[in-house]
Structures are given as structure tokens and as C-alpha cells.
Amino acid sequence: MGRVTCAPSSRKRRKRVLERAKGFRGRSSKNIRTAYDAVDKAMSHSYEGRKLKKRQFRRLWTVRINAACRQLGTNYSTFMNGLKKAEIDVNRKVLADIAVKDPEAFKVFIDKAAAALS
């Protein structure tokens, strides 16, 4: 009776890990034991990075909106408060895009927010 090694499945698993470790430095891309650790760490960092990306983009949009508001004589917090009171539901991503690409349209938003506050 021959010995069963489960070679196809274990080889497939190792190959998958080494594929993910491609481009890592040193042994981490060649040696399966270090590659397991490196891939696990990379996967946990990528999970965290996807969450951080959302935060960083929201901060970027806020900075862009604030800069556009200050050029037109108001600030971010009063502008957002005015939009809320005027019941204008536009998210920060779209507002930041309008502020950068179409300042005249952004000025309309500023005027409506100011009108709602007064």
C-alpha cells in the first residue's frame, strides 16, 4: 500500500501563499514558513488600510470644502450647518468635487446655506 501525502492540496495551498508573497523582500517571498507569517501580516495591514483609506478621503474632502468656503468668506462648520438647515443633502465627496471643478456652482451652495442661516 502506498503512502498518501495529500500532495495536490498542500502544494496548491503553498503555491497560493507564495503567489501572495511575490515581491516581498528576502526569504519572505521564497521560504514557505516565513511567507506564511509575512502574508498573514500583510493581509491584516491591508484590512486596516481599507478602513484608513475611507477616513483619509473624508479628511481630504473636508479640507477642500473648507478651503473653498474660506475663499468665499465663510468657514466649513457654518457652511455645513447652513446646508443642513436648508435641507440640502449633498455628500462631502460631491461637494469637494464641485468646489474644485466648478466654483460658480459652489457659490450657489454657499448662498443657499447663508440664506438658511439668516
Q: Are 109 and 74 in contact (CB under 8 A)?
A: no
All domains of the chain in start order, with CATH: 8-117 (1.10.1900.20)
On whether the pTM is more than 0.95, the answer is no
DSSP 25: S
Q: pLDDT, tens digit, for every residue of 84-93?
A: 999 999 999 9
Q: What is the pLDDT of residues 42-96, one digit of tens each?
A: 999 999 999 999 999 999 999 999 999 999 999 999 999 999 999 999 999 999 9
**The pLDDT of residue 6:** 76
pLDDT of residue 108: 96
Q: What pLDDT does residue 82 have?
A: 96
Q: If 0-12 CB within 10 Å is exposed, 13-18 middle and 19+ buried, where does residue 15 land?
A: exposed
